[in-house]
Structure 1
Amino acid sequence: MNNAQTPDAGYSIDLGNAASKNAYNWSKKTFATRAGLPGEPARDLDGGFSNEIRFGQERLGISSDGIGTKIELGERLDKYDTLGYDLVAMTADDLIAAGFVPTNLSNIIDVNTLDYDVVDEMMRGLHDACQFSKIAITGGEIAELGNRIGGFPGARMNFNWCSTAIGVLHPSLAQPLSGATAQAGDAVVALRSPSFRSNGYSLARKTLQRLFGDNWHSQAYDGTDADQYATWGEALLAPSLIYAPALTAVLDAGLPLRGAAHITGGGVADNFKRVLKNGLGAVLDNLFAPLPAMQRLCEIGGISPETAYLYWNMGNGMLLVVAPEAAEATVQQLAQSGYQAQLAGYLTAEAGVTLRVAAGGLKYA
């Protein structure tokens, strides 16, 4: 697609990428202020999922993110104890994608009017997610901003929630993972995502609003997994699976991981291209199937495969690049950690990403 925008999405991926690149360019102008000093940033990780800061011989990773408009699902369902998994996943999995094992997290909650019980529910979920990921929550802030913060009318509290996480470079790695050592013929392993994670919700919400009106979240859900969810709200609120512990175990096992892409905003191809260096491309011909909720949204909302694969993970939360002889061992290691994984494709000498999926062949330059 030349213009990565659809009327239902409410935002442009192209514009977001351009703004992010411009913001990062301004940030890089500050790197020289720490040259040769503790906290010196790496200068060779442009386009990655997190960045590196150096303290002597210690190499740390840092990542910041939020959970976007998925917050509205919590407000609509008055359920907040799973959003912490989304918050941890967005930063911890960006860190491990570069080989940094997450260790600490700080978070900021901006609210309109403070509700103690809602914050307690949010933080209980964040505690559980951090316990799962072996992360310590070592900082936080709650700011009451009145009408500067909006959201679903009638919710006990409207809020925005963001975090910054840091991690330490895995001891098996001499450099952060970036895809720089990958080569044509390398295998691609996909990890299944059981949810939308925390991306593409503007497209999902606007589609359901158009189809069902203001109370779309209470509309009966009719995907093929309707035995798991009663309403569309419940299906969309399903929490993110955190991949950091699984990838840490892969590195602990000494498997030759050469790159990892966290599939978030921008979908499968846009995120995977971030680890395709030196003119390499990829053919992904055995991805996990889209989630039933994604398939159903495409059917009832008239969403094209090109748009769906651009805005959603389509059932694939992370893609790993590994040496071909280690692909099966990597899949088995991930399975031992309790994650669904499968060989999804291979790297090519020609640039561009080709997806061969049930909906047909999709090519991204």
Structure 2
Amino acid sequence: MSQTSADTNLKATAGYSIEEGNAASRNAYEWAQKTFATRAGKPGEPARDLAGGFSNEIRFGNERLGIGSDGIGTKIEVAERLDRYDTLGYDLIAMVADDLIVAGFVPTNLSNIIDVNTLDYTVVDELMHGLHDAAQFSQIAVTGGEIAELGNRIGGYPGARMNFNWCSTAVGVLHPSLERPLSGANVRAGQAVVALHSPSFRSNGYSLARRALTKAFGEKWHEAPYSEENAAGLNVDTQHLTTANAKTWGEVMLAPSLIYSPGIAAVLDAGLPLHAAAHITGGGLADNFKRVLKNGVGAELSNLFEPLPAMQQLALLAGITPPEAYLYWNMGNGMLLVTDHDEAAAVVASLRGNGYRAQVAGRITAEPGVTLQVGAGELRYEG
């Protein structure tokens, strides 16, 4: 079975359009590029050849730093519904730290801004406690921030202690083993693709998920019971919130993002080759991976991690087709790495040794486009 994103009206399903979002991002980046000349030959000069990624390089003499910005998005509403805020720091750091590491920048510092309707000290304390724990895990120093009270300019779930939006900017330093950032320029046919498992939805695709859950369970969907089939055979973490130990759909959707940057930095520390990496966020596997397939090459991914049971259940409940699900959710795969075929096993071993689930997922092909061989059949996304 061959399917593509053109088979369905994705905007009607999700409430937003990936294509329109990509077009707006390209336009915004074109305006941003027009400012690069202001720092030409001066400290802070940006790189001009990293278009398509989610972070960029800035140069201070011989020092090459990376910078990127992102936020948690509508996952915040899940925290408001459950009145639990101590996990969102992992999502905030994952979104920026993992955008940096896929370009070869080891994250070092983060600044954040919390825009609120009216301030609640205890909610902010819970947010920052979680951010502290995530920063410790990823070896990042939180060196700046602001809390802004904006009144009715900020909305959210009615009755929450505090409605807010949370965004951050992170910087990192180019790994010393790299001469230039990872951009996909060295990706060639025959190289191997390694996948890292994602134990949650991360912080993307939540507009589609919330619409699907509301359709299936009504407005109080976060209270709907959830059980993971065959959970008895899983290694369930009982200390931290995961989709496997969740008791409600709200807990499923709140399960925090796994931060990959320490594991990728360890791969580089070991001197193992990486030619490109893709952080699987909004747009799913194909859209994000195509950003680093820059030499007219493509990929065939026939050994990806299986979608999380929660994703499979949600797709069935809401009538979401496989092409839609693989465009809006990570489907159990949070990052893809490109390495030499002969070094793929060593890369997997390094990642596993640092506590990550990893496996060789496929190969780079001479033909453009991304083909996914999954349980639902063959999904083809043109280059």
TM-score, normalization: structure 2? 0.94
1:183 aligns with 2:191: no
Q: C-alpha distance in 1, partners of 2:355/2:76?
A: 27
> Which position in structure 2 is the counterpart of 1:104?
109
> Which position in structure 1 is the counterpart of 2:238?
none
Aligned with 2:140 (options 135, 138, 141): 135
> Which position in structure 2 is the counterpart of 1:283?
300
For 1:159, give the aligned amino acid: F
3-state SS of 1:293 partner: helix
Runs of 4+ in 1 over 6 A off after TM superposition: none
> Which position in structure 2 is the counterpart of 1:251?
268
Q: C-alpha distance in 2, partners of 1:132/1:276?
A: 30
The within-5 A match list for 1:204-215 is 204-215=209-220
How far residue 277 of structure 1 moved from its aligned partner, in angstroms, is 1.2
Describe the superposition over 1:293-314 as per-residue Cα deviations: whole angstroms up to 9, x where unpaired: 1000111110000000000000
For 1:210, give the aligned amino acid: K
> Which position in structure 2 is the counterpart of 1:150?
155
1:57 aligns with 2:62: yes
The within-5 A match list for 1:237-316 is 237-316=254-333
> Which position in structure 2 is the counterpart of 1:231?
248
1:220 aligns with 2:237: no
1:8 aligns with 2:13: yes
3-state SS of 1:271 partner: helix
3-state SS of 2:74 partner: helix
- Identical columns (%): 72
How far residue 153 of structure 1 moved from its aligned partner, in angstroms, is 0.3
How far residue 361 of structure 1 moved from its aligned partner, in angstroms, is 0.2
3-state SS of 1:8 partner: helix
Q: C-alpha distance in 1, partners of 2:345/2:272?
A: 11
Contact 1:256 1:326 in 2 (8 A): yes
Q: C-alpha distance in 1, partners of 2:16/2:168?
A: 22
Describe the superposition over 1:51-84 as per-residue Cα deviations: whole angstroms up to 9, x where unpaired: 0000000000000000000000100000000000
Contact 1:113 1:158 in 2 (8 A): yes
3-state SS of 1:288 partner: coil
Aligned with 1:328 (options 307, 332, 345): 345
Q: CA RMSD in A?
A: 1.0
Q: C-alpha distance in 2, partners of 1:60/1:52?
A: 6
Contact 1:223 1:292 in 2 (8 A): yes
Q: C-alpha distance in 1, partners of 2:21/2:184?
A: 23
Q: C-alpha distance in 2, partners of 1:8/1:355?
A: 22
Contact 1:49 1:262 in 2 (8 A): no
Q: C-alpha distance in 1, partners of 2:15/2:370?
A: 25
Q: C-alpha distance in 2, partners of 1:30/1:229?
A: 47
Describe the superposition over 1:252-308 as per-residue Cα deviations: whole angstroms up to 9, x where unpaired: 000011100000000000000011011000000000000111000111110000000
1:73 aligns with 2:90: no
Describe the superposition over 1:206-239 as per-residue Cα deviations: whole angstroms up to 9, x where unpaired: 1111111111000001342486111000011000
Q: 1:100 to 1:4 in 2, by over 3 A?
A: farther
How far residue 318 of structure 1 moved from its aligned partner, in angstroms, is 0.2
Q: C-alpha distance in 2, partners of 1:68/1:146?
A: 19
> Which position in structure 2 is the counterpart of 1:166?
171
Aligned with 2:207 (options 202, 206, 218): 202
Q: C-alpha distance in 1, partners of 2:246/2:41?
A: 54
Aligned with 1:41 (options 28, 38, 46): 46
For 2:227, give the aligned amino acid: D
3-state SS of 1:251 partner: helix
> How many pairs are equivalent?
365
How far residue 10 of structure 1 moved from its aligned partner, in angstroms, is 1.1
Describe the superposition over 1:78-128 as per-residue Cα deviations: whole angstroms up to 9, x where unpaired: 000000000000000000000000000000000001000000000000000
Q: 1:187 to 1:227 in 2, by over 3 A?
A: closer
Q: C-alpha distance in 1, partners of 2:131/2:58?
A: 25
Q: C-alpha distance in 2, partners of 1:287/1:116?
A: 43
Q: C-alpha distance in 2, partners of 1:89/1:349?
A: 32
For 1:190, give the aligned amino acid: A
TM-score, normalization: structure 1? 0.99
How far residue 49 of structure 1 moved from its aligned partner, in angstroms, is 2.6
For 2:351, give the aligned amino acid: L
Q: C-alpha distance in 2, partners of 1:318/1:345?
A: 13
Q: C-alpha distance in 2, partners of 1:48/1:24?
A: 10
Contact 1:68 1:160 in 2 (8 A): yes
